[in-house]
Structure 1
């Protein structure tokens, strides 16, 4: 088994702001109208990429479909440096690479499509909102079941899902996972010294060969004046089933590289969070609503 413990410091999301933000999103959804032509927002904007294909808007059993096609440009460029550091001959090399791409049929553009199906299982702002999402792309299928308990006073977020790869061998991509955040425990622990009985945020990812467990516990930043959260994260990796002895050897050999990669990934996530969250939490409910409406 490989265990990685790391600490990151992130900007906070105040619980009152979270309550207001969820209310804004819920209200926008409930004030909108949906049919087979698209989603009509309260200000009259139409989003044709989201269509109601079954049931009534936001009623249990209603199904929404979004489709998107993305064009990916693949450009092959080869630079050749001589001993003096000059780029002599790079034009000729690039021309050869372009010719090779044309002959192979991959050329410069490739189209990829993906479809997202959203099914409403429950929509009650006092009890719970539960959505099922199915993402189908050319090379991968992802199924998610997401539940938010008591949205008016959010207390628990639960997500479970499965990912299946269409590329061979499929066993490399097939995995299931689940995650839970107990907001009732997270917020007091993040803002005070109160220690919850167990990690308020936990996740598990099961692959045929490897199991990954993640736990996160928040604490107030040592310098309480800035209000930031100090999050202690533990990531554990272990082998599964008959391959456990083999996985144990592989994990032991790669332990240092795994620890470095996990730490780097957590630091990158914290940096992105700290770059985006302060701008969001600075908005009041009206500003957030206006921002959401301006991004159809």
Structure 2
């Protein structure tokens, strides 16, 4: 088993700002109209490149597909499905992407959920990649899961009693290895967040006895690469987030609407 730990300092995200952004995104989606299969923003502008192909807009089971540039038809290899849409309870979406490579076809399923939009408490993300072609196809896929307990996160970033469990946790499972990650924030003296990331890697199947050797040979280099990646991510966060939090949810919703229209 190999272990990793690294701490970065991040610009904080106010709770009320995050909640206002979640509400604004839901407002934008709910105020979008449907004419046949086409979508129109609240101000009447059509949304290019996305159509409703099944069900009622935002109803459970509603399916949307991007439109192909070459012929204007829905892309059969990509689909977004509404699993649930209830602001008081749960919002959940599923995105399926197919890779039709004859030599190595693959299917990627991503799911995103939130409980609830009116007062966000939990969020989760999962992804599953499966390949069905070629030799050793079972080694070309895997699953990943992330779970964020927002109540514990705000508790950890405050000045009260720290939570008993990590607010953010995740796993990445491959036929040969499993990676478990926890993320714990705490307040820094200057008001920012000190965020500690811990990871644990364990071998599976035939790779189990090889992991100690790999950790001994490559462990230091791998830890350095992970630490550098986290520092780059923190630098990007600290560059972009302070500018974002100066905008209210309504303004961000308007900017998202403009982005949906393309250049």
With normalisation by structure 2, the TM-score equals 0.88
1:97-108 paired onto structure 2 within 5 Å: none
When residues 12 and 138 of structure 1 are mapped into structure 2, their CA distance, relative to the original with a 3 A threshold, is farther
Which residue of 2 is the match for residue 91 of structure 1? Answer: none
Q: How does 1:281-292 map to 2 (within 5 A)?
A: 281-292=245-256
- Select 2:80's aligned residue among 108, 112, 118: 118
Relative to structure 1, the CA distance from residue 121 to residue 222 in structure 2 (aligned partners, 3 Å threshold; closer, same or farther) is same
Deviation at 1:191, TM superposition (A): 2.5
Cα deviation, residue 34, structure 1: 3.1
Distance in 2, Cα, partners of 1:249 & 1:171: 24
- The separation in 2 between residues aligned to 1:37 and 1:59, in whole angstroms, is 14
Task: Give secondary structure in 2 for the equivalent of 1:294.
Answer: helix
- CA deviations 1:251-288 (Å, max 9, x no partner) are 33210111011111111211221222112111013322
1:186 counterpart = 2:150: no
Could you say what the CA RMSD is over the residues aligned between the two structures, in angstroms?
A: 2.1
After TM superposition, give the deviation of residue 216 of structure 1 in Å: 0.3
CA distance in 2, matches of 1:36, 1:137: 29
Secondary structure of 2:118's counterpart equals: coil
Task: Judge conservation of contact 2:51–2:67 (CA < 8 Å) in 1.
Answer: no
1:2 to 1:150, Cα distance in 2 relative to 1, 3 A: same
Distance 2:240 2:97 in 1: 25
Which of the residues 131, 134, 147 maps onto 2:93?
A: 131
Counterparts in 2 of 1:115 and 1:280: CA distance versus 1, 3 Å? farther
Is contact 2:144-2:171 (8 Å) kept? yes
User: 1: distance between equivalents of 2:232 and 2:146?
Assistant: 20
Which position in structure 1 is the counterpart of 2:175? 208
- 1:22-71, Cα deviation, whole Å (9 max, x unpaired): 1110001000023554321111121231111100000011011125679x
Runs (4 or more) in structure 1 with deviation over 6 Å come to none
Structure 2: runs of 5+ lacking an equivalent: none
**Equivalent residue in structure 1 for 2:137, among 161, 170, 190:** 170
Kept in 2, the 8 Å contact 1:37–1:48? The answer is no
Which whole-Å deviations, capped at 9, do the CAs of 1:144-196 have from their partners, x for residues lacking one? 12210111100001222201347755344301121100000001211224311
Identify if the C-alpha distance between structure 1 residues 286 and 161 changes in structure 2 by more than 3 Å, giving closer, same or farther.
Answer: closer
Moved more, 157-166 or 117-126: 157-166
Matched residue, 1:73? none
Structure 1 residues 182-236: Cα deviation after superposition (integer angstroms, max 9, x where no partner): 000001211224311011100000001011111000001132xxx2111011011
What is the distance in 1 between the residues matched to 2:91 and 2:78? 18
Q: Any conservation in 2 of the 1:36–1:53 contact (CA below 8 Å)? A: no
Counterpart of 1:12?
12
Counterparts of 1:23 and 1:132, CA distance in 2: 20
Find the structure with the greater CA-based Rg. Answer: 1
Cα distance in 1 for partners of 2:59, 2:37 equals 18
Q: Please say if residues 160 and 178 of structure 1, whose CA atoms lie closer than 8 Å, have aligned partners that are also in contact.
A: yes
Aligned residues: 251
User: How does the TM-score come out when normalised to structure 1?
Assistant: 0.79
- When structure 1 is superposed on structure 2, of 260-269 and 52-61 the one drifting more is 260-269
Which residues of 2 match residues 37-186 of structure 1 at below 5 A? 37-67=37-67, 115-137=77-99, 140-165=106-131, 168=134, 169-186=136-153
